[in-house]
Amino acid sequence: MRMRQNPQFDRKNCFVPTSEIIAVEETELNKKQRNIGKWQKMAKPHAFTVYYVKKARNHRWRCSDVTFWCVDEHLCNQWIQALKELLEMQSKPKQLLVYINPYGGKRQGKSIYEQKVAPLFSLASISTDVVITEHANHAKDNLFEVNINKYDGVVCVGGDGMFSEVMHGLIGRMQKDSGIDQNNPKAPLVQCNIRIGIIPAGSTDCICYSTVGISDPVTSALHIIVGDCQPLDVSSVHHNNTFLKYSVSLLGYGFYGDILKDSEKKRWMGPMRYDYSGLKTFLSHHYYEGTISFQPAKHTVGSPQDKDSCRTGCYICKKSEQQLSQQYKECGLKHEEDEEEWKVIKGKFLAINAVNMSCACPRSPKGLSPAAHLADGSADLILVRKCSRFDFLRYLVRHTNQDDQFDFSFVDVYRVKSFQFTSKLSEDNESNVTDIGKKRFGQFCRDHPACCCNIASSTWNCDGETLDSSAIQVRVHCQFVKLFARGIEENSKDEAAYSQSSIEQLL
Ligand X SMILES: Nc1ncnc2c1ncn2[C@@H]1O[C@H](COP(=O)(O)OP(=O)(O)O)[C@@H](O)[C@H]1O
Ligand Y SMILES: CCCCCCCCCCCCC/C=C/[C@@H](O)[C@H](COP(=O)(O)O)NC(C)=O
Q: Which positions are annotated as active-site residues? A: 160
Residues 347-376 that bind ligand Y (CB under 6 A): 359, 361, 363-364, 368
- Residue 233 interacts, among Ca ion, ligand Y, ligand X, none and using kind-specific CB cut-offs from 5 to 8 Å, with Ca ion
Residues 455-494 that bind ligand Y (CB under 6 A): 461, 463-464
Residue nearest to ligand X (CB): 159
Angle at 315 between CA 194 and CA 374, to 5 degrees: 45
Task: Please name the residues in contact with 147: beta carbons below 8 A apart, sequence gap of 6 or more.
Answer: none
Find the Cα–Cα–Cα–Cα dihedral 370, 374, 378, 379, rounded to 10°.
50
- Residue 133 interacts, among Ca ion, ligand Y, ligand X, none and using kind-specific CB cut-offs from 5 to 8 Å, with ligand X
- Residue 324 interacts, among ligand Y, Ca ion, ligand X, none and using kind-specific CB cut-offs from 5 to 8 Å, with none
Contact pattern from residue 178 through residue 217 relative to ligand Y, giving x for each residue in contact according to CB under 6 A and a dash for the rest: ------------------------xxxxx-----------
- Do residues 229 and 482 touch, judged by C-beta distance below 8 A? yes
**Beta carbon nearer to ligand X, 105 or 231:** 105
22 phi-psi bin (left φ>0, alpha ψ -120 to 50, beta other): alpha
Task: Please name the residues in contact with 433: beta carbons below 8 A apart, sequence gap of 6 or more.
Answer: none
Report the interface residues with ligand X, using CB under 6 A. Answer: 101-105, 133-138, 158-162, 165, 202-203, 464-465
**Beta carbon nearer to ligand Y, 226 or 352:** 352
Residue nearest to ligand Y (CB): 464
70 has which bridge partners? 46
**Beta carbon nearer to ligand X, 124 or 167:** 167
Find the Cα–Cα–Cα–Cα dihedral 188, 192, 196, 201, rounded to 10°.
-30
CA 255/CA 352 separation, integer angstroms: 8
- Residue 249 interacts, among ligand Y, Ca ion, ligand X, none and using kind-specific CB cut-offs from 5 to 8 Å, with ligand Y
**Beta carbon nearer to ligand Y, 63 or 355:** 355
- Do residues 463 and 286 touch, judged by C-beta distance below 8 A? no
The answer to whether residue 256 forms part of the interface with ligand Y (CB under 6 A) is yes
- Residue 165 interacts, among Ca ion, ligand Y, ligand X, none and using kind-specific CB cut-offs from 5 to 8 Å, with ligand X
CA 121/CA 386 separation, integer angstroms: 50
Q: How many residues does the chain have?
A: 507
Q: Taking Cα atoms as reference points, which of 405, 77, 464, 13 lies closest to residue 249?
A: 464
Output the smallest distance, CB 160 to ligand X, in A.
Answer: 5
Binders of ligand Y: how many residues, by CB under 6 A? 25
Write out the residues near ligand Y by the rule CB under 6 A: 159-161, 202-206, 249-250, 256, 260, 274, 359, 361, 363-364, 368, 396-397, 399-400, 461, 463-464
